[in-house]
């Protein structure tokens, strides 16, 4: 029999994410963390299962980000699907820019001008590196007024 904890997301990660949205002085019970852990794990399994079924029908063995976004949308989580698609596109763009930067610096290392500056050194001074991806937590709104 498979250990149940193997199928759950790590509770430390759950607690850390929960703390991000709560006030700094808030306490989170072990029971609350475990409940959210079970719900999050079940949600991930539910969405991944739907994406996996789609891949199986298409005779594919690998589930990708587009499949997860499709599954979210098909299960009625359209807002999540749209947000995940935007994030996925930004991730792919970031990786493409980084790959192009690495390719450019490897190809141009031997090309130097009269001052001794290589093409990659010129690129580093002229082109800022792509900004790292950030996944921001929604801001809380004070509705007490």
Exposed (0-12), middle (13-18) or buried (19+): which is 67, by Cβ within 10 Å?
buried
Residues 82 and 72 in one domain: no
Model confidence pLDDT, tens digit, residues 14-73: 999 999 999 999 999 999 999 999 999 999 999 999 999 999 999 999 999 999 999 999
Residues 5 and 61 in one domain: yes
Q: What is the mean pLDDT of the chain?
A: 82
Segment 119-130 mean pLDDT: 52
Residues 63 and 108 in one domain: no
Considering only residues 41 and 137, tell me which one the structure prediction assigns the higher pLDDT: 41
Residues 61 and 37 in one domain: yes
Residues 69 and 96 in one domain: no
Contact 47, 72 (CB under 8 A): yes
What per-residue confidence (pLDDT) applies to 1?
A: 46
Contact 18, 36 (CB under 8 A): yes
Give residue 111's domain range. 78-138
Residues 2 and 37 in one domain: yes
Residue position matching structure tokens 């792919």: 92
Q: φ and ψ at 39, to 5 degrees?
A: -65, -45
With a cut of 50, say whether residue 13 has pLDDT above it: yes
Highest mean pLDDT (candidates 10-14, 115-119, 126-130)? 10-14
DSSP β-bridge partners for residue 118? 112
DSSP β-bridge partners for residue 112? 118
User: Token digits for 21?
Assistant: 């949205």
Q: Is the pTM of this model over 0.85?
A: no
Considering only residues 28 and 101, tell me which one the structure prediction assigns the higher pLDDT: 28
| Contacts by residues 73-76 (CB-CB < 8 Å, ≥ 24 positions apart) | 74/50, 75/46, 75/47, 75/50
- What CATH number is associated with residue 18? 1.10.20.10
Residues 87 and 63 in one domain: no
Identify the band that residue 3 occupies on the pLDDT scale cut at 50, 70 and 90. low
Ordered alpha helix ranges (H), the chain: 11-21, 30-57, 65-74, 78-107, 119-126
């Amino acid at each position: 029999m498979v250990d149940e904890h193997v199928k759950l997301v790590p509770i430390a990660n759950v607690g850390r994410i929960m703390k991000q949205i709560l006030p700094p002085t808030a306490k989170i019970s072990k029971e609350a963390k475990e409940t959210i852990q079970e719900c999050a794990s079940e949600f991930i399994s539910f969405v991944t299962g739907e994406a996996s079924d789609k891949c199986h029908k298409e005779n594919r063995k690998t589930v990708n980000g587009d499949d997860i976004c499709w599954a979210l949308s098909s299960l009625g989580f359209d807002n999540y699907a749209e947000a995940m698609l935007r994030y996925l596109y930004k991730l792919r763009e970031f990786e493409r820019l980084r790959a192009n930067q690495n390719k450019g610096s490897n190809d141009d290392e031997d090309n130097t001008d009269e001052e001794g500056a290589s093409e990659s050194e010129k690129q580093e001074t002229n082109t800022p590196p792509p900004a790292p991806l950030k996944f921001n937590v929604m801001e809380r709104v004070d509705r007490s007024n």
